[in-house]
Amino acid sequence: MAKPRRTKFRALVEANPDPILCACGCGERIVLRWHHVRDGIPKHINGHQGGRPPQPPADRFWAMVDRRGPDDCWPFQGSPGPDGHIRLVLPEGRVFVHRFSWELHRGPIPEGMLVCHKCDNPPCVNPAHLFLGTHADNMADRNQKGRQARQRGEACGTAKLTEDKVREIRRLASEGSSPAALAVAFGVSERHIKNIVCRNRWAHLSAD
């Protein structure tokens, strides 16, 4: 059974498929999102307060940038998504902060073009570290910098085990040691032990 708030939200969106006016009276329009609705009533745009003029997007952007030297990375102080990139919330929707920086400094982005990082640091918004390219250009840059392959085994910076330990875990498991006992002995989770034994992890490692 749908929750009352969700039902109200669905009805409100169906009744207002196009952007509606921000509730603060600023005159800007907003596309309805879940967090813009409270008890079926549209709220103000993020950053807008009733009776006060909204903060310009550029001001909001710079307020969250750690602006350093001209050749340094300028990290945007926000929460990255699963892809490592950060998005800035605007009245018309969300935009990647590095794309916003490019348009702020260089102008519109041509259709079909990507804004790529020379520094390989997704939160960086220093325009000197950005360049335009196609998807093919981005892939070529990735390959040239060696980012196309995931680091595995001991080469992975988060690895807790060595190849010798993984071989030892598999040997002991074949001799009857339980995953629980091996987890305690090697300082990893029982699930990780099971994945190693089943070769869901460290699958590249030979049985030698």
Q: Give dist(CA 181, CA 184) in Å, integer.
A: 5
Kindly give the confidence (pLDDT) of every residue in the chain, 208 residues in length, as a single tens digit, with 9 standing for 90 and above. Answer: 445 556 666 666 666 666 666 666 666 676 665 555 555 555 556 556 555 566 788 988 999 999 989 899 999 988 888 778 899 888 778 899 999 999 999 999 999 899 999 888 889 999 999 999 888 887 887 777 666 555 566 665 557 788 889 889 999 999 999 999 999 999 888 988 998 898 888 887 776 5
DSSP, collapsed to helix, strand or coil, labels residue 92 as: coil
DSSP track, 117-136: ESS--TTB--GGGEEEE-HH
pLDDT for the residue numbered 144: 75
- Residue 97's H or E segment, with its range, is helix 97-106
Task: Name the residue with tokens 């001799």.
Answer: 175
pTM score, two decimals?
A: 0.49
So what's the pLDDT on residue 203? Answer: 80
